[in-house]
């Protein structure tokens, strides 16, 4: 924790108020980087791209993880192998996933457009349009959901079967049991997974965006981690990139705080 978290965090806060470039001896510049951030014309577009990405990816990732976790929680034939298949993409390197996505979304020979064309649907040029690129990154991130899937799977198995037997005797079908038993009992865990996924999706989206689109087209996927990388390594602005990293942490804190307040207001954490 000290070597990998606390020391880098302290250095980040220290560099945020210097003119560090990675090649020079940093010197204190006060609030110069703060003024630069306030006047940065590209920063609002990067924040907007990050928020759109979180708004698209987090609900879909959570929906897929919960759906698969509930479907595969029972003891059925072949369920073990299905569970393994769901978890395998999570242990794949991000670079391998990005290369597979580049092949899958290729407009000429990619399988995604081939399947769409077979059904007579439009075949978009995914990575050449802003929304096409956004959706391509989101779809790629729908596969590594194994951690959330395992949590949902374990929590579903902890629910006593007697509750479902009693609900069935009262006339509740599968959807009624889902609405009145499963989701209320899973609510605190779902809040935890949503908070975790917001942090993960907001901060760990560099590799897919950088390899798939390099932040384009039109800065549509230039998320904050990509923008921080560009400022630090493309323009040698380590001090300014450190301040942007603090801004990313602050944005994550605000989003998580809003989610926790909403969860408490809706009494999801008490169930």
d(CA 111, CA 109): 6
pTM of the model: 0.90
Give the Å distances, CA to CA, from 200 to 77, 107, 155, 180, 192: 34, 29, 21, 30, 12
* β partners of residue 28: 18
Q: Which pair of tokens denotes residue 36?
A: 């630069």
**Helical pair 238-265 and 183-203, crossing angle rounded to 10 deg:** 170
pLDDT band with cut points at 50, 70 and 90 for residue 90: very high
d(CA 191, CA 81): 28
The alpha carbon of 94 is separated from its chain's Cα centroid by a whole number of angstroms, namely 13
Query: What's the rounded mean pLDDT across residues 39-47?
Result: 93
Span 161-210, pLDDT tens digits? 899 989 888 888 889 999 889 998 999 899 999 999 999 998 878 888 88
State yes or no: pLDDT of 63 exceeds 70: yes
State yes or no: pLDDT of 32 exceeds 90: yes
Mean pLDDT (the chain) is 90
The predicted structure's pLDDT at residue 206 = 86
State yes or no: pLDDT of 152 exceeds 80: yes
- pLDDT exceeding 70 applies to what percent of the chain? 99
Q: Which pair of tokens denotes residue 97?
A: 């996933």
Residue with tokens 């010197």: 27
Ranked by mean pLDDT, the top range of 50-59, 122-131, 213-222 is 50-59
Which of 39, 54, 60, 64 is CA-nearest to residue 209? 54
State yes or no: pLDDT of 50 exceeds 90: yes
Residue with tokens 């928020």: 51
The predicted structure's pLDDT at residue 208 = 84
171: region left, alpha or beta (phi > 0 left; psi from -120 to 50 alpha): left
Q: Where is pLDDT greater, at 51 or 214?
A: 51
The alpha carbon of 4 is separated from its chain's Cα centroid by a whole number of angstroms, namely 22
| Cβ burial, residue 194 (10 Å; 0-12/13-18/19+) | buried
Q: How many CB atoms lie within 10 A of CB 150?
A: 16
Which of 10, 3, 20 is CA-nearest to residue 235? 20
Span 110-147, pLDDT tens digits? 899 999 988 988 888 888 899 999 999 999 999 999 99
Q: What is the CA radius of gyration of the chain?
A: 22
pLDDT band with cut points at 50, 70 and 90 for residue 246: very high
The predicted structure's pLDDT at residue 100 = 92
d(CA 48, CA 201): 14
* Composition of the chain by helix, strand, coil, percent to 5: 70, 0, 25
Q: How many CB atoms lie within 10 A of CB 167?
A: 18
């Amino acid at each position: 924790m000290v070597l990998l978290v606390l020391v880098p965090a302290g250095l980040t806060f220290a560099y945020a108020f210097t003119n560090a470039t990675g090649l020079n001896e940093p010197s204190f510049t006060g609030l110069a980087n703060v003024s630069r951030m306030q006047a940065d014309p590209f920063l609002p577009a990067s924040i907007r791209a990050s928020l759109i990405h979180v708004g698209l990816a987090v609900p879909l990732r959570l929906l897929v993880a919960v759906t698969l976790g509930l479907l595969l929680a029972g003891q059925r034939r072949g369920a073990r192998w299905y569970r393994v298949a769901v978890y395998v993409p999570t242990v794949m390197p991000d670079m391998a996933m990005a290369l597979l996505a580049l092949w899958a979304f290729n407009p000429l020979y990619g399988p995604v457009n081939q399947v769409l064309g077979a059904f007579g649907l439009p075949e978009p040029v995914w990575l050449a349009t802003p929304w096409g690129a956004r959706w391509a990154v989101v779809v790629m991130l729908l596969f590594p959901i194994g951690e959330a899937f395992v949590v949902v799977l374990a929590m579903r198995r902890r629910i006593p079967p007697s509750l479902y037997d009693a609900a069935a005797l009262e006339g509740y079908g599968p959807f009624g049991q889902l609405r009145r038993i499963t989701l209320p009992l899973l609510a605190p865990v779902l809040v935890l997974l949503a908070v975790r996924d917001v942090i993960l999706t907001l901060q760990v989206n560099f590799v897919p965006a950088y390899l798939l689109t390099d932040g384009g087209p039109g800065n549509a996927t230039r998320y904050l981690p990509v923008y921080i990388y560009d400022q630090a390594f493309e323009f040698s602005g380590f001090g300014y990139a450190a301040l942007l990293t603090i801004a990313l942490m602050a944005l994550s804190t605000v989003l998580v705080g809003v989610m926790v307040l909403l969860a408490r207001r809706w009494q999801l954490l008490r169930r």
